[in-house]
Structure 1
Amino acid sequence: MLDLLQPFLQTKVGSFVGSVIFAVLVLAITFLLAKLVNRVMRRLVDRHRKSNSGAATVLGFARYIAVAAVYFAGVMVVVYSIPLLSSAVRTLLTAGGVIAVVAGLAAQEALGSVVSGMMILAFKPFRMGDVVRYIDNDISGVIEEITLHHTAIRTWENKRVIIPNSKMNSSIIENADYADSKVCVFMQIGVTYESNIDLAKRLLAEEILRQPDFMDVRTPEQKSAGASAVQVVVLELADSAVTLRASLWAKDNSTAFSLKCAVLENIKKLYEQNGIDIAYPHVVVLQQ
């Protein structure tokens, strides 16, 4: 069989057919290898993400570089296996100066995002899993992915916001998990002027202390000095309400949200049982 194919492959048509078959095989192997690398890297990212390790961000970024390198290597093998394509590439490389300038201008924004992605990876202003707020557009959510070109934020509505790395790197980002994941949420409640303010403050503080998710952040010195674990203050004497503000500390942003919801529900019931009225706008119409 090989003896019959040998003369055919030495002809121009045979050489072309052989090159095409070789190119198809290389591209198929490249595609399968890229899928394998992508799957292995994704599993590594998921494993480190579950352990809340910072390596997940690095591996997530490296995954795209590894897949791109596999595709680039496969394409180069195909190009240099076909004489016509190989000569065309050499001609392009000879005029590389002009092409580099044109390509640089055309891909300036894309290259800027790649460089910005590397800077994010190096300086770590945020990483995968961090709760952030993109202040410029008031977008809040969780960093789900950092690619070569963009950062994906999963919002609280389970939508994905795709922001180029160049914009993420140059904007002001509020990171709830940077250095310390503890969160303090201020909860404000307005009670009527006729209500017992001292009782309202005490009930609110006691309700917060009853919550298992509440975190006591007092220092040992503050504890020995008898400082209260929950700070409830009169924030404002408004037109129709006395505004109370309580500080709710929790281990992270999602826990703080759940804590605030639980306190709001329970304190309404407690205030109703103890004759404390929560203020709300209302109009009294006098009939003549």
Structure 2
Amino acid sequence: MTEFFETYRSHIVYGIIVIAIVFVLLLLTNVISKWFLKKETENYSEVPIRPLKILKRTLNTLWLVLGVIALSFIFVDKEKDAANLKAYFQLASHLGIVAVATIVSATLVNLWFKRKIEEKIVYQYDPTSYKFLRYVAVFLIYFIGILFGLLAFPSLKGVAQTALGGAGVLAIIAGVASQEALSNLVGGVFIISFKPFKIGDVIKVTDTMVGTVTDITLRHTVIRNFENKMIVIPNAVINKERLINYDLGDPKCCEHIEMGISYDSNIELAKKILQEECEKHPLILDNRTEIDKKNGLPIVRTALTKINDSSLTIRAWAWSRNFSDSFSMKCDIFESTFKRYGESNIDLAYPTRTIYLANETKATVEEKSENK
């Protein structure tokens, strides 16, 4: 045994040193990460925990891989094998450094944009551009990190150098990404550039897609509908749609409140009741000009707009300060007008059908027709 230790003393000492170094690095990484997470969470509630945990796992994996490669030198005698292990050690080191630098850079950039967005919100500025640019910046950091990682592989080094040179970036993106992904990306750039809507605007894409814009990413736009459900719409799709932005320009909204009454109802009384219910609602907006007021025009105009097969449509043009007020006002007026119509003997329209049974005689049918 003594002869064995004397023969392989240098290898044993080398192995103990490598294991000790790896153990110390693992211990320091875990201790520092726990301390850092604790301090950051105490000072900044918005600190991103997930990237820090990923960074910790990456460093621990790097120390273990480098330690295993370093220990492998003990069992190698040939210079060629030693050169291969040295190449593997350099490759692992290169990938580890690139991964750590990429994660740290992306986290810092993300934090910077997040604080800028919060400042914009506090001072009531539009944060849409910063939110979109945050996704672009983080994407570019990870993209460049992947390219630097490819530099470590000789077979892919030419592709990475071409892309990092600048001319090949768009070519690689166009070659790898699908047409739909590119159209979504371009659509997001158009939305940020021309601003048909921004974060916080209430938009209507279709009758089933109405809500508040909560986020605009590289791929899609997210809106929260009034049922608190998140609707994810690809940017390419929303760019093709004719949408309504209730917060673009003047937020005032004219709501068409329609009631269907029967042919036998008093049209003038029905119009008057609907007008009164609209004008006494607390959310109604007087949109008349000074000339309209001098001419004695009412706040809410009502009219018979349509003669249907079995009903008459009475419409009121009711203005409100914004879309949210108009929806609440419309619901309240429907309810109050329905009650007033019932008290005033104004019948609401409903479809009617005349059914003749097959076994009825012709005389019976004619008799019923005469009675009518």
Shift in Å at residue 146 of structure 1? 1.5
Give the one of 12, 15, 30 matched to 2:102: 30
| Change in CA separation of 1:156 and 1:278 when aligned onto 2, cut-off 3 Å | same
1:171 aligns with 2:241: yes
Equivalent position amino acid for 1:37 in 2:
V
Out of 53, 74, 88, the residue aligned to residue 156 of structure 2 is: 88
Structure with the largest fraction of helix: 2
Q: What is the aligned partner in structure 1 of residue 295 from structure 2?
A: 225
Question: For residues 12-91 of structure 1, what are the structure 2 equivalents within 5 Å?
Answer: 12=83, 13-14=85-86, 16-17=88-89, 19-21=91-93, 23-42=95-114, 44-45=116-117, 48=120, 53=125, 55-80=126-151, 82=152, 84=153, 88-90=156-158
Equivalent residue, structure 1, for 2:338: 268
Counterpart Cα distance in 2 of 1:16 and 1:206: 84
Find the counterpart in structure 2 of residue 111 from structure 1: 182
RMSD: 3.7
Judged with a 3 Å threshold, the aligned counterparts in structure 2 of structure 1 residues 143 and 201 are, in CA distance, closer, same or farther, namely same
Structure 2 residue aligned with 1:244:
314
Question: TM-score of the superposition, structure 1-length normalised?
Answer: 0.78
TM-score (norm 2): 0.62
What one-letter code is carried by the residue in structure 1 that aligns with 2:349?
A
In the alignment, what sits opposite 1:126?
197
1:128 and 1:261 mapped to 2: Cα distance?
27
List alignment gaps of at least 5 residues for structure 2.
1-12, 19-69, 74-81, 357-363
Q: What displacement does 1:245 show? A: 0.5
Note the C-alpha offset of 1:129: 2.4
For residues 355 and 345 of structure 2, the distance between their equivalents in structure 1, rounded to whole angstroms, comes to 24
Distance 1:254 1:52, change over 3 A: farther
Report the more deviating stretch, 13-22 or 168-177. Answer: 13-22
Native 8 Å contact 2:258 2:314 kept in 1: yes
Q: Encode CA deviations 1:161-182: one digit per residue, 9 max, x unaligned.
A: 4333233333332323322222
Matched residue count: 279
**Offset at residue 226 of structure 1 (A):** 1.3
Instruction: From the superposition, tell whether residues 190 and 168 of structure 1 become closer, same or farther in structure 2 (CA, over 3 Å).
Output: closer
- Does structure 1 conserve the Cα–Cα contact (< 8 Å) formed by 2:102 and 2:141? yes
Amino acid at match of 1:273: E
CA distance in 1, matches of 2:170, 2:335: 63
* Cα distance in 1 for residues equivalent to 2:251 and 2:227: 22
Equivalent position SS for 1:152: strand
Gap change, CA 1:275 and 1:74, over 3 Å in 2: same
In structure 2, what is the Cα distance between the partners aligned to 1:180 and 1:172?
18
Worse-superposed segment, 241-250 or 40-49: 40-49
- Pairwise mapping of residues 133-148 of structure 1 onto structure 2 (< 5 A)? 133-134=204-205, 139-148=209-218
1:196 pairs, out of 266, 281, 285, with 266
Task: Specify the SS of the correspondent of 1:243.
Answer: strand
Which amino acid in the other structure matches residue 58 of structure 1?
Answer: S
Residues 252 and 322 of structure 2 are in contact (CA less than 8 Å); yes or no, is this contact kept in structure 1?
A: yes
CA deviation map 1:213-254 (0-9, x unaligned): 111111122122211110111123334333210112222222
Q: Which has the higher contact order (CA 8 A, sep 6+)?
A: 1
Structure 1: unaligned runs, 5 residues or longer: none
Gap change, CA 1:52 and 1:281, over 3 Å in 2: farther
Paired letter, 1:66: A
- Of 138, 146, 153, the match for 2:223: 153
